[in-house]
Chains A and B, each alone.
Chain A
């Protein structure tokens, strides 16, 4: 895979109010790659995501888009959605298609995209349910459909399988893998479940405020100093 990167982090330092939470990150994400981001609670995974999304400015360094700025899809950690809104599933999925000021033009003609996306994730029968009344696992499926509906080239998913049982998680990761292949989508997934994550990932970003940042394949990460310092030596029992 040596195509032009979709997104490049150049000495990117993320943090809040000028205070870094992580050392600088250098990496390139290419179409169709499956990235998994690992790191302990509070290590900066969500902060890094929010910076890539432009919701937070970098402390230093930059996020570059070598192919031009492309639509990005975001599946936030847990439900970041306002539960007061009685929005049906099909409208949540259709939101994926909005861009800029598109909400001022009639939204008709999106029905096909919505149906296709919901069908692809196996959630078509949920279409008229209220989003807020779904189980966490069902919500995640709907959000995957919204991601497909957005026709983004890259998708960031913050712990999409956190609410799932082991079987559902494996199914969800396999589904993500399938969607990635079908749409040549670059996926960046935060996961705390190393076994499942490592089975599907081709690239790992390992974040740790103390021992550092590592980027590489599963094998490379497992050989890295930082990884060994964090897991092999101190917490060998939790490793896959």
Chain B
């Protein structure tokens, strides 16, 4: 029943077709992996989950508007608008409501997921598969989406590296950083905006599931494997890139959906990093 396993030559032969999605997966994985170190350390893991889910809803709504309302909205704008709105909601002070931030995130995540599937039900006839948006089943990437990932990715990676020392200080010891005049609030907001924008453009290109995976798992694996924080950034970027690229290859050769393979590859890195940490012990 299973299709025959393709040969390496088949992949190389069709490289023109696969080049863009591979580059896109590698780039998104690397940049989200780098940002992910801050995401994991600042306990923003579920922020990333919610942002990718909400971005998926934004993409679906943009298709819906095009099909049923006759207004052409570029899907990447739908993703950006909705995820920036979610980022604002996430950063509101919820203590007045006496609810925790993770319950706010769960509400947004569930609403976005449910609504995306509902909207998806009304756009399938146009071959916009909701599974592609949420789980990243698409094999190809549109050139404009690749350009968005590369452009935003270059910007975000440069900024996060440049401000890296400040981001670490502000996360590690916010009061100490404030006392020394660091712009802690501006750093927090910039990080959230960077994560939101990168997640939104990547979700449009690759789907919500692999984007959530890239934002968390490579960084987690890197933090498990390294002794000192400064090595976590390059390693997380490398693992993210590998998850994007190897995940795509795995999908091709084993004939599985792409996004799922990328997420599982990133997850395997975490599983491999656990014994590294246990063997090293301590600190």
A interface residues (Cβ-Cβ under 8 A, vs B) = 53-55, 71-74, 76, 80-82, 84-88, 91, 95-96, 98-101, 103-104, 107, 129-130, 132-133, 150
Interface residue B166 (Cβ < 8 Å from any Cβ of A): yes
State the majority secondary structure of interface residues on B. Answer: helix
Q: Distance (Å) between the CB of A187 and the closest chain B CB?
A: 16
- Interchain residue pairs with CB less than 8 A apart (9): A54-B178, A80-B175, A84-B41, A85-B41, A87-B168, A88-B229, A99-B181, A104-B162, A130-B227
Query: B163–A98 contact, CB under 8 A?
Result: no
Query: B178–A98 contact, CB under 8 A?
Result: no
Nearest 7 A/B pairs, CB to CB: A103-B166, A130-B283, A103-B165, A100-B181, A133-B283, A85-B172, A74-B179
Pick from A55, A71, A85: contact of B171, CB below 8 A: A85
Interface residue B143 (Cβ < 8 Å from any Cβ of A): no
**A133–B227 CA distance with the chains assembled, in angstroms:** 11
Query: A100–B183 contact, CB under 8 A?
Result: yes
Report if A53-B183 is in contact (Cβ < 8 Å); known contacts: A82-B173, A98-B169.
no
Q: Distance (Å) between the CB of A50 and the closest chain B CB?
A: 8
B interface residues (Cβ-Cβ under 8 A, vs A) = 40-41, 43, 162-166, 168-169, 171-173, 175-183, 223, 226-230, 232, 282-283
Chain A residues whose C-beta falls within 8 Å of the C-beta of B178 in the assembled complex: 53-55
Chain B residues whose C-beta falls within 8 Å of the C-beta of A53 in the assembled complex: 175, 178-179
Query: B179–A95 contact, CB under 8 A?
Result: no
Summed over the interface, the residue pairs from A and B with CB atoms below 8 Å come to a total of 89
**A73–B166 CA distance with the chains assembled, in angstroms:** 17
Nearest chain A residue, comparing its CB with the CB of B231: A86
Chain A residues whose C-beta falls within 8 Å of the C-beta of B229 in the assembled complex: 85-88, 91
Chain A residues whose C-beta falls within 8 Å of the C-beta of B179 in the assembled complex: 53-55, 72-74
Query: A129–B283 contact, CB under 8 A?
Result: yes
Query: B283–A86 contact, CB under 8 A?
Result: yes
**A152–B20 CA distance with the chains assembled, in angstroms:** 53
Q: Distance (Å) between the CB of B21 and the closest chain A CB?
A: 34
**A89–B168 CA distance with the chains assembled, in angstroms:** 14
Report if A98-B180 is in contact (Cβ < 8 Å); known contacts: A80-B175, A81-B172.
yes
Chain A residues whose C-beta falls within 8 Å of the C-beta of B175 in the assembled complex: 53, 55, 74, 76, 80
Report if A103-B171 is in contact (Cβ < 8 Å); known contacts: A54-B179, A86-B283.
no
Q: Distance (Å) between the CB of A68 and the closest chain B CB?
A: 14
**A88–B181 CA distance with the chains assembled, in angstroms:** 22
Pick from A71, A85, A95, A103: contact of B176, CB below 8 A: A95
Chain A residues whose C-beta falls within 8 Å of the C-beta of B230 in the assembled complex: 91
Q: Distance (Å) between the CB of A201 and the closest chain B CB?
A: 23
Chain A residues whose C-beta falls within 8 Å of the C-beta of B182 in the assembled complex: 98, 100-101, 103
**A73–B181 CA distance with the chains assembled, in angstroms:** 11
Chain B residues whose C-beta falls within 8 Å of the C-beta of A99 in the assembled complex: 180-181
Query: B232–A87 contact, CB under 8 A?
Result: no
Q: Distance (Å) between the CB of A6 and the closest chain B CB?
A: 15
**A198–B283 CA distance with the chains assembled, in angstroms:** 37
Chain B residues whose C-beta falls within 8 Å of the C-beta of A81 in the assembled complex: 172-173
Report if A82-B171 is in contact (Cβ < 8 Å); known contacts: A100-B181, A130-B228.
yes
Query: A104–B166 contact, CB under 8 A?
Result: yes
Query: A98–B177 contact, CB under 8 A?
Result: yes
Chain B residues whose C-beta falls within 8 Å of the C-beta of A84 in the assembled complex: 40-41, 43
Q: A74-B175, A130-B227, A133-B283 are in contact. List 19 more A-B contacts (CB 8 A).
A: A55-B175, A74-B179, A80-B176, A81-B172, A82-B172, A85-B168, A85-B171, A85-B172, A86-B232, A87-B172, A87-B229, A88-B229, A91-B229, A98-B177, A100-B181, A101-B183, A103-B165, A103-B166, A129-B283
